[in-house]
Structure 1
Amino acid sequence: MDEASIRADAIEGLEHQLDEPLDASVLTALQRVSREPFVDDASRSGGRGQTGDDATGSLSTATVVRLITALDVAEGDDVLVVGAGAGYSVAMIAEIAGARHVHAVDIDREAVWAARSNLSTAGYDAVLVDRRDGVNGLPEYAPYDRILLEASVVEPPRALRDQLAATGRIVYPRGTTVQTIAAIEPDAVGEPDAQTAHDVDPGSDAAPEQPPDRSSTEADTAPPGFSTVETAGPVRIDPMLVDGEQGGVERNRTRREDAEWAQQGHFAPHGWEQEWIDWDDRI
């Protein structure tokens, strides 16, 4: 069986698993983006596991599809992906929006290297992948029409919300242990709708269009100034890392400095060996 047939069967199985037809743009991206370049390095992508994912630790295709469907990307949208991982979902978004419109960050330097290499192999080397703390986003290229978090949070960090365009959308796994994929958008501000109550002909049956009633028995847990417009799930994705939690970083200072001393000897930059220096003579 050739690759095209295998991929067609996989897509059919995915639609059955999700119990709904795939969005046209997402379906096209699935057909065009091969997963193969992203599989070998997936286990080095920061360990973003999820129940039901493959053994590499990367997000399952079903979860990637759910995230990107909720993101609702259009061609030409400027997109920021927080948590580049192995780069597969980044490539999917690049196929829809255009590679030069997609930016990705990851706190794990090894994941950044893997994502850059994989995206280049897959033909999406125009995507910018940078080593950044996702909490701070990537302000140099803001505002973004879409922001995707591939790490679970209770609510998106303020910096990311500030980097979103006024008509943009943020998608993220909301929660702690088991999450729901949430899509949020800024609340409408400014002038009211063109058709207001006093614009309606008193003799007509037409009534002014009312804003959607967001009140319900379950309060919207979107951050202030935002409303949840779509949810999907459940999913289980690892939480957003803070600086110092990425792979290969020793958080215990004693063990870290002992290792540095063993490797660098008296040139080690940390520890007691610096105390004897007369810094007044060095300035």
Structure 2
Amino acid sequence: MDPAVLREDMVDSLEHEAKAVLDTERVALAMRDVPRQAFVDERVAYADRATEVDGTTALAPSTAARLLEALDAREGHSVLIVGVGVGYTAAVLAEVVGAANVQAVDIDRNMVYTARRNLERAGYGEVLVDGRDGSRGLPEYAPFDRILVEAAAVRPPRALLDQLPEDGRLVMPMGAGEQTLVALDSGGEVLERVCPVAFRPLLIEGQQPGTLERNRTEREDREFAERHAQRRHGWEQGWIDWERGRYG
């Protein structure tokens, strides 16, 4: 069957009264546009169940919808995803806020490569995905209007809260044995308790399955260069290209 038709059916079911996990038009439209078969096996891509992929769990569409609704991301927002997994929620958020506004990290180097490959294949290659200890966030790109943590912890990491502006929002599964999906403000106060959930724990450096390795993307290199150029003043604006023997 045509994947586009299957996507329509999937989103319709998530909006239906029986599930009713999708009620925001921008999230629904984004989920209708993202080709989920680029992230999980096409045979199960539009079934509402979690799927094991390369040692991680690709969230069921209904779970992804709950996360995205709780996050309340808007066009132009800067978003950080901690625990990118296969990259599907990053793609949906790219549709909502713009791909260049989505940054994602994962402590598992193999998942970083998998997510990058999937996002590129699906048409969201501009999303930045990096290998990091997610509990430390991504301070180079902070502040973030929204932070989504796709792993559970007893309390939100302080570094993540510090990377939110005053009106920012962090969504994560909170708890140990029993977990609840919550939305928090920049001070760590609970804004909303969404529903019980069951996520894998948030790993920190030393707990990851593979060696953590920085692997900066071309986009990151370009953005760092642009930021550095913007900080220059006066004589620093001139530079010498020694290899080409000219002054710029």
TM-score, length basis structure 2? 0.77
Does the 8 A contact of 2:109 with 2:210 survive in 1? Answer: no
Unaligned segments of structure 2, at least 5 residues: 42-48, 212-248
Does the 8 A contact of 2:161 with 2:188 survive in 1? Answer: no
User: CA-to-partner distance for each residue in 1:200-227, whole Å, 9 max, x for gaps?
Assistant: xxxxxxxxxxxxxxxxxxxxxxxxx332
**Separation in structure 1 between the aligned mates of residue 40 and residue 21 of structure 2, nearest angstrom:** 26
Matched, 1:247 2:244: no
Q: Which residue of 2 aligns with 1:108?
A: 108
User: CA-to-partner distance for each residue in 1:166-188, whole Å, 9 max, x for gaps?
Assistant: 110000001113311100113xx
User: CA-to-partner distance for each residue in 1:239-272, whole Å, 9 max, x for gaps?
Assistant: 10122222246xxxxxxxxxxxxxxxxxxxxxxx
TM-score, length basis structure 1? 0.67
**Separation in structure 1 between the aligned mates of residue 21 and residue 116 of structure 2, nearest angstrom:** 32
Equivalent AA in structure 2 for residue 99 of structure 1: A
Equivalent AA in structure 1 for residue 26 of structure 2: S
**Separation in structure 2 between the aligned mates of residue 39 and residue 21 of structure 1, nearest angstrom:** 21
Q: Which residue of 2 aligns with 1:150?
A: 150
**Separation in structure 2 between the aligned mates of residue 64 and residue 27 of structure 1, nearest angstrom:** 11
Q: Which runs of 4+ in 1 moved over 4 A?
A: none
**Separation in structure 2 between the aligned mates of residue 20 and residue 169 of structure 1, nearest angstrom:** 19
Decide whether aligned partners of structure 1 residues 21 and 124 sit closer, same or farther in structure 2, where only a CA change above 3 A counts. Answer: closer
**Separation in structure 2 between the aligned mates of residue 90 and residue 60 of structure 1, nearest angstrom:** 14
Decide whether aligned partners of structure 1 residues 6 and 175 sit closer, same or farther in structure 2, where only a CA change above 3 A counts. Answer: same
Does the 8 A contact of 2:71 with 2:183 survive in 1? Answer: yes
Equivalent AA in structure 1 for residue 153 of structure 2: V
1:59 Cα deviation after fit: 1.1
Unaligned segments of structure 1, at least 5 residues: 41-51, 187-224, 250-283
**Separation in structure 2 between the aligned mates of residue 107 and residue 55 of structure 1, nearest angstrom:** 18
1:25 Cα deviation after fit: 0.7
Equivalent AA in structure 2 for residue 102 of structure 1: V
Q: Which residue of 2 aligns with 1:234?
A: 196
Q: Which residue of 2 aligns with 1:203?
A: none
**Separation in structure 2 between the aligned mates of residue 151 and residue 3 of structure 1, nearest angstrom:** 29
Q: Which residue of 1 aligns with 2:51?
A: 54
Report how many aligned residue pairs link the two structures.
202
**Separation in structure 2 between the aligned mates of residue 237 and residue 146 of structure 1, nearest angstrom:** 20
User: CA-to-partner distance for each residue in 1:151-201, whole Å, 9 max, x for gaps?
Assistant: 001111111111111110000001113311100113xxxxxxxxxxxxxxx
User: CA-to-partner distance for each residue in 1:38-84, whole Å, 9 max, x for gaps?
Assistant: 115xxxxxxxxxxx523442111111110010000001000100001
SS of corresponding position for 2:165: strand
SS of corresponding position for 1:64: helix
* Alignment of structure 1 residues 1-283 onto 2, 5 Å: 1-16=1-16, 17-19=18-20, 21-40=22-41, 53-56=50-53, 57-186=57-186, 225-248=187-210
**Separation in structure 2 between the aligned mates of residue 123 and residue 172 of structure 1, nearest angstrom:** 27
1:15 Cα deviation after fit: 2.5
Q: CA RMSD of the aligned region, Å?
A: 1.9
Equivalent AA in structure 2 for residue 66 of structure 1: R
Report the identity percentage: 49
